[in-house]
C-alpha cells in the first residue's frame, strides 16, 4: 500500500482507536484487496511502510462485501457500483477477505 | 442469507479506492447518509 | 477530389533499452535513497540488450510480431525469449543504451550532460554511421577527461550515467540551477530522455513512410509525460518544439498537449482538427519516453526473482495529414469525451468513451472491428499484484455494453479476444494508451483485417490533486472509403 496512505491511516488509528474507525476498500483485484486488508489489520506485508509490524486491527471491508452492500441504498448501489461489481472479480474478493477474517 | 448491514454511524471512515476498481468518490457517494464521517479518502492508480 | 479530411499517413515506434537509467526511475530512486544496498539488488535484476530484443512484448512494440501472437504464447513471457531473427523491424528499432546516452548529450544545448572523452570517441562514429542517429549527432557534446569527470562526479547534486548499471560512469548530468528544483539534474535528465526518445520516434517515422520529409512537418504536438519549465513556471513547455528542433523539423513549430496518460488521443484529435481546418498540413503527434516510470514495479519484480521489466523508454510518432485517398481517416464525428458529470468510475468512463460515440454514429457494436484501450504489458503488472490492465478494461467495457443491452451477457467473456488486443506496452502510461497500437492498426487496415479501430485513452487526473476526477477521450479511425 502507498506509504503516504499508511502514514495517514496510522495517525487516524492513533487518534480514534480501532473501535472508532471503519476502512472501506475499492481495489479491483483479489491480491490488492488482500494486501490492503492485511496492511490495516496485521501490518504492512511488504515491510516497507509506516505500518510494517504494526497491528492496527482495524475493521476493513471491500464495498462488494454483503455487509456493506446491505447498508447501501439499493438504487445507489445499482447506479454506481453494480456494473463495477459485474466487471471485476467480486466473488473472489469477497471470499478472500472472508477467509482472511476467519484466520 | 442476507447479511447484517454494517454500522457506519458515528465512525470515522478511511476510504481506499482504485481507479480500475471503485474510486474513492464513488464509495463516498454510495455511503453518504449512513452516518459515517470520511476522515481520509484516497484513490490509487496502480499503473 | 483532394480534401482536408484528416488521415493517418504513418506511424512509428522507438524503444530505448536503458537499464542503467532504471535507478533514476521515481520508485528505484526513492528506494535507493532509503536503502542504498537496493542499487546492487536492482543491477542484478536488469536485462542486457540481447534479452530485451528477444522479449515478445518488445517485438510486438516494434512490429516484428503481430499483437495476436501474444494470445498464442502463454504468460508470463519473460521466461520465453525468442531468437532474434535479424529482420528489419517494421515500426522502429530497439536502441542500445550506449547510443542513447551519447544522444542525451547531443540533445543538450546547455551542456549539463557531460560525457567522458573516451566514451564519445567510441560512440561518436557509431552514431555517425547509422542513418537513424547520424542526423541527431551533428553537434559534439561537452566532453571531460577522466580526471575532470572524477571531480564532477564528487558533486552531490549531479547524476552519474551508467551503462547497464555497472562499471565506471560514462557521463554525468549536472544541475541546471542551484536554487531551482525544476532544473535539477534529475528533472533535466527526465526531460532530455523524453526529448531524445521523442526525436528518435520522429526519425523512425520519417524513415518508415513515403512522402514526409523534415521540411514537410509544420506542427509537432507532444503528448509526453514530462514537465519542462523553471521555478516560475513548472510545466511551462514546450517539449514539442524542443523535439522538432532536435529532430531537424526546421520549418515546423510545436505545442504540448497535457492530459496525464490520455494526452495522445486529445493530441490526435487536435492535430486532425487543425488539418481539417486547413491551419496546418502535416502534423506529427509524438509521445516521448517517461524516465520516472522506469522500474516502477521493480520492488515486486525483484521480490519474485523475475527480471526488472520496466527497463526501456518507449516513444511513438503519428503523422496526420490531408486525405490522400488511401490512408485511414480520423473520424472527427466520433470523438468520445468524458464530461465532468460522468464521474470517475470505469464503467461510466467507458459509457462515455465507447458507447456514446457509437450511438452518435448509429452504429451497433458489431460494426466496430477493434477497440483499443490501455495495453500495459501484463508481465509487468500481474507480478505487481495490479492484475492484467487490458483484460480488466475489456471485461468492464463488455459488462457496461451488456447492461446497455448492446451485447449479450454471454459475450462478456469473449469480448477481449473478439474486439480487443492483448497488452504488450511498457508501463509508460501515455504510450500504453491506444496510441501504441496506431502502427499496428494502420497495418491491419492495409491488410484488410479490420475496417476500423476505436482508440480509447484514460487519465487519472486525481493524481495531481486538483480534482478527484478522471478524464478520457476516444477517437475512431477507419479504412479510407468506408
Q: From the candidates C304, C354, C396, C420, which should be mutated to test the interface with A, based on the most A CB atoms within 10 A?
A: C396
Cβ pairs A/C, distance under 8 A: 42
Q: How far is A56 from chain C (nearest CA, A)?
A: 23
pLDDT, position C294: 98
Do residues C426 and C71 touch, judged by C-beta distance below 8 A?
A: no
Q: Which of C163, B27, C222 lies closest to A22 in space, CA to CA?
A: B27
pLDDT, position C85: 76
CB contact under 8 Å between B20 and C345, yes or no, is no
pLDDT in tens, chain C (482 residues): 568 999 999 999 999 999 999 999 999 999 999 999 999 999 999 999 999 999 999 999 999 999 999 999 999 999 999 987 788 999 999 999 999 999 999 999 999 999 999 999 999 999 999 999 999 999 899 999 999 999 999 887 899 999 987 789 999 999 999 999 999 999 999 999 999 999 999 999 999 999 999 999 999 999 999 999 999 999 999 999 999 999 999 999 999 999 999 999 999 999 999 999 999 999 999 999 999 999 999 999 999 999 999 999 999 999 999 999 999 999 999 999 999 999 889 999 999 999 999 999 999 999 999 999 999 999 999 999 999 999 999 999 999 999 999 999 999 999 999 999 999 999 999 999 999 999 999 999 999 999 999 999 999 999 999 999 999 999 999 999 98
- Phi first, then psi, for residue C306 (nearest 5°) are -105, 160
pLDDT, position C128: 97
Closest CB to B26 among C345, C376, C392: C345
Inter-axis angle of helices C185-208 and C97-106, nearest 10: 110
CB contact under 8 Å between B21 and A29, yes or no, is yes
With vertex at residue C58, the alpha carbon angle to CA C52 and CA C64, rounded to the nearest 5 degrees, is 115
Q: From the candidates A27, A86, A92, A93, which should be mutated to test the interface with C, based on the most C CB atoms within 10 A?
A: A86
CB contact under 8 Å between A69 and B3, yes or no, is yes
* Chains with 3 or more CB pairs under 8 A to chain A: B, C
- Phi first, then psi, for residue C224 (nearest 5°) are -75, 175
Q: For residues C208 and C1, give the distance between their C-alpha atoms in angstroms, rounded to a whole number.
A: 27
Q: Which residues of A touch B24 (CB under 8 A)?
A: 26
Inter-axis angle of helices A3-16 and A30-41, nearest 10: 40
Q: For residues C371 and C161, give the distance between their C-alpha atoms in angstroms, rounded to a whole number.
A: 40
Number of domains in chain A: 1
For residue C430, give the chain B residue with the closest CA.
B47
For residue A60, give the chain B residue with the closest CA.
B14
Residues facing residue C253 across a β-bridge: C219
Q: For residues C439 and C60, give the distance between their C-alpha atoms in angstroms, rounded to a whole number.
A: 11
Q: From the candidates A1, A6, A19, A26, which should be mutated to test the interface with B, based on the most B CB atoms within 10 A?
A: A26
Closest CB to B45 among C384, C392, C463: C463
Residue A48 has pLDDT above 90, yes or no: no
Q: Which residues of C touch B46 (CB under 8 A)?
A: 381, 384, 386, 389
Task: Reduce the secondary structure of chain C to three states and give it as a string.
Answer: CCCCCEEEEEEEEEEEECHHHHHHCHHHHHHHHHCCCHHHHHHHCCCCHHHHHCCHHHHHHCCCCCCCHHHHCCCCCCCCCCCCCCCCCCCCCEECHHHHHHHHHHCCCCCCEEEEHHHHHHHHHHHHHCCCCHHHCCCCCEEECHHHHHHHHCCCCCEEEEECCEEEEEEEECCCCCCCHHHCHHHHHHHHHHHHHHHHHHHHHHHHCCCCCHHHCCEEEECCCCCCCECCECCCCCHHHHHHHHHCCCCCEEEECCECECCHHHHHHHHHHHHHHCCCCCEEEEECCCHHHCCCCHHHHHHCCCCCCCCEEEEEEEEEEECCCCCCEEEEEEEEECCHHHCCCHHHHHHHHHHHHHHHCCCCHHHCCCEECCCECHHHHHCCCCCCHHHHHHHHHHHHHHHCCCCCHHHCCCHHHHHCCCCCECCCHHHHCHHHHHHHHHHHHHCCCCCEEEEEEEECHHHHCCCCCCEEEEEEEECCCC
pLDDT, position C482: 84
CB contact under 8 Å between C396 and A88, yes or no, is yes
Q: For residues C19 and C165, give the distance between their C-alpha atoms in angstroms, rounded to a whole number.
A: 6
pLDDT, position B1: 58
CB contact under 8 Å between B20 and C432, yes or no, is no
Please compute, for residue C168, the number of CA atoms within 13 A of its CA located in the half-sphere on the CB side: 10
Place of cell 471491500: A62
Q: Which residues of B touch C460 (CB under 8 A)?
A: 19, 43, 45
Q: How far is C463 from chain B (nearest CA, A)?
A: 8
CB contact under 8 Å between A80 and C399, yes or no, is no
Do residues B25 and B2 touch, judged by C-beta distance below 8 A?
A: no
CB contact under 8 Å between C381 and B46, yes or no, is yes
Q: For residues C281 and C204, give the distance between their C-alpha atoms in angstroms, rounded to a whole number.
A: 20
Q: Does C391 touch chain B (CB under 8 A)?
A: no
Q: For residues C331 and C93, give the distance between their C-alpha atoms in angstroms, rounded to a whole number.
A: 30
Q: Does C27 touch chain A (CB under 8 A)?
A: no
CB contact under 8 Å between C399 and A87, yes or no, is yes
pLDDT, position A31: 95
Dihedral sign, Cα of residue C218, residue C316, residue C477, residue C89: positive
- Phi first, then psi, for residue A20 (nearest 5°) are -100, 0
CATH 3.40.47 segments of chain C: 329-478
Look up residue C41 and give its three cell numbers.
539488488
Q: Which residues of C touch B16 (CB under 8 A)?
A: none
CB contact under 8 Å between B36 and A21, yes or no, is no
Q: How far is A87 from chain C (nearest CA, A)?
A: 4
pLDDT, position C166: 77
pLDDT, position C1: 55
E strand or H helix at B16, and its extent?
strand B12-18
pLDDT, position C37: 97
Q: Does C346 touch chain B (CB under 8 A)?
A: yes
Percentage of chain A beyond pLDDT 90 is 93
| Number of residues that this document lists for chain B | 47
Q: How far is A97 from chain B (nearest CA, A)?
A: 15
Q: Does C396 touch chain A (CB under 8 A)?
A: yes
- Phi first, then psi, for residue C246 (nearest 5°) are -65, -35
Q: Which residues of C touch B24 (CB under 8 A)?
A: 468
For residue B12, give the chain A residue with the closest CA.
A21
Asked if the C329-478 domain carries CATH number 3.30.70, the reply is: no
Query: 3-class SS at A22?
Result: strand
Domain hosting A74: range is 3-102
Could you report the per-residue pLDDT of A50-80, keeping only the tens digit for each? 999 999 999 999 999 999 999 999 999 999 9
Look up residue A31 and give its three cell numbers.
491480491
For residue C390, give the chain B residue with the closest CA.
B20
- Kindly compute the dihedral angle of the four CA atoms of residues C16, C18, C23, C29, in this order, to the nearest 10 degrees: -10
Closest CB to B6 among A21, A36, A71: A71
Residues facing residue C15 across a β-bridge: C94, C314
The reported pTM is 0.96
Q: Are strands C312-322 and C142-144 parallel, antiparallel or unpaired?
A: unpaired
Amino acid at each position: 500500500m502507498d506509504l503516504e496512505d499508511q502514514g495517514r491511516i496510522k495517525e487516524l488509528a492513533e487518534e480514534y482507536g480501532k473501535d472508532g474507525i471503519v476502512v472501506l476498500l475499492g481495489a479491483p483485484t483479489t491480491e490488492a484487496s488482500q494486501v490492503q486488508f492485511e496492511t490495516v489489520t496485521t501490518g504492512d506485508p511488504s515491510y516497507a511502510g509506516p505500518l510494517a509490524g504494526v497491528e492496527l486491527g482495524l475493521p476493513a471491508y471491500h464495498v462488494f462485501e454483503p455487509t456493506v452492500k446491505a447498508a447501501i441504498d439499493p438504487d445507489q448501489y445499482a447506479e454506481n457500483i453494480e456494473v463495477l461489481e459485474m466487471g471485476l472479480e467480486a466473488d473472489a474478493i469477497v471470499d478472500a477477505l472472508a477467509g482472511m477474517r476467519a484466520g | 442469507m442476507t447479511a447484517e448491514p454494517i454500522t457506519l454511524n458515528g465512525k470515522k471512515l478511511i476510504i481506499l479506492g482504485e481507479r480500475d476498481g471503485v474510486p474513492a468518490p464513488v464509495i463516498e457517494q454510495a455511503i453518504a447518509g449512513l452516518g459515517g464521517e470520511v476522515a481520509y479518502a484516497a484513490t490509487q492508480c496502480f499503473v | 477530389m483532394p480534401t482536408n479530411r484528416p488521415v493517418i499517413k504513418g506511424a512509428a515506434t522507438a524503444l530505448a533499452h536503458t537499464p542503467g537509467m532504471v535507478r533514476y526511475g521515481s520508485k528505484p530512486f526513492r528506494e535507493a535513497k532509503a536503502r542504498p544496498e537496493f542499487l546492487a539488488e536492482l543491477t542484478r535484476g536488469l536485462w542486457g540488450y540481447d534479452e530485451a530484443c528477444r522479449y515478445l512484448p518488445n517485438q510486438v512494440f516494434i512490429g516484428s510480431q503481430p499483437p495476436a501472437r501474444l494470445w498464442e504464447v502463454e504468460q508470463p513471457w519473460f521466461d520465453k525469449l525468442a531468437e532474434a531473427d535479424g529482420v528489419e523491424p517494421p515500426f522502429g528499432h530497439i536502441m542500445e543504451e550506449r547510443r542513447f546516452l551519447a544522444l542525451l548529450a547531443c540533445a543538450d544545448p546547455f551542456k549539463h550532460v557531460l560525457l567522458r572523452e573516451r566514451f564519445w570517441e567510441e560512440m561518436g562514429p557509431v552514431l555517425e554511421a547509422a542513418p537513424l542517429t547520424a542526423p541527431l549527432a551533428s553537434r559534439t557534446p561537452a566532453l571531460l577527461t577522466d580526471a575532470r569527470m572524477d571531480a564532477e562526479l564528487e558533486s552531490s547534486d549531479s547524476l552519474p550515467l551508467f551503462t547497464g548499471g555497472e562499471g565506471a560512469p560514462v557521463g554525468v548530468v549536472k544541475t541546471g540551477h542551484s536554487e531551482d528544483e525544476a532544473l535539477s539534474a534529475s528533472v533535466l535528465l527526465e526531460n532530455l530522455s523524453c526529448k531524445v526518445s521523442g526525436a528518435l520516434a520522429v526519425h523512425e517515422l520519417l524513415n518508415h513512410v513515403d512522402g514526409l520529409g523534415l521540411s514537410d512537418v509544420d506542427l509537432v504536438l507532444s503528448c509526453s509525460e514530462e514537465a519542462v519549465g523553471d521555478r516560475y513556471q513548472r510545466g511551462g513547455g514546450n517539449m514539442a518544439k524542443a523535439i522538432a528542433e532536435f529532430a531537424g523539423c526546421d520549418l515546423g513549430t510545436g505545442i504540448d498537449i497535457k492530459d496525464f496518460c490520455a494526452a495522445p488521443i486529445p493530441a490526435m484529435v487536435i492535430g486532425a482538427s487543425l488539418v481539417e481546418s486547413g491551419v496546418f498540413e502535416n502534423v506529427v503527434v509524438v509521445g516521448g519516453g517517461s524516465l520516472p516510470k522506469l522500474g516502477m514495479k521493480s520492488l515486486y519484480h525483484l521480490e519474485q526473482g523475475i527480471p526488472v521489466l520496466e527497463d526501456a523508454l518507449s516513444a511513438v510518432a503519428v503523422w496526420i495529414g490531408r486525405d490522400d485517398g488511401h490512408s485511414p481517416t480520423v473520424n472527427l464525428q466520433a470523438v468520445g469525451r468524458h464530461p465532468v458529470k460522468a464521474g470517475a468510475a470505469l464503467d461510466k468512463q467507458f459509457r462515455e468513451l465507447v458507447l456514446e460515440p457509437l450511438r452518435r454514429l448509429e452504429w451497433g457494436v458489431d460494426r466496430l472491428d477493434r477497440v483499443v484501450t490501455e495495453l500495459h504489458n501484463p508481465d509487468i503488472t500481474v507480478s505487481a499484484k495490479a492484475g492484467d490492465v487490458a483484460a480488466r478494461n475489456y471485461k468492464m467495457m463488455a459488462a457496461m455494453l451488456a447492461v446497455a443491452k448492446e451485447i449479450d451477457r454471454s459475450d462478456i467473456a469473449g469480448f477481449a479476444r473478439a474486439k480487443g488486443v492483448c497488452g504488450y506496452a511498457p508501463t509508460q502510461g501515455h504510450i500504453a494508451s491506444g496510441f501504441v497500437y496506431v502502427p499496428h492498426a494502420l497495418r491491419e487496415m492495409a491488410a484488410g483485417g479490420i475496417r476500423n479501430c476505436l482508440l480509447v485513452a484514460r487519465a487519472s487526473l486525481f493524481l495531481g490533486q486538483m480534482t478527484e476526477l478522471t478524464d478520457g477521450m476516444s477517437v475512431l479511425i477507419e479504412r479510407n472509403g468506408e
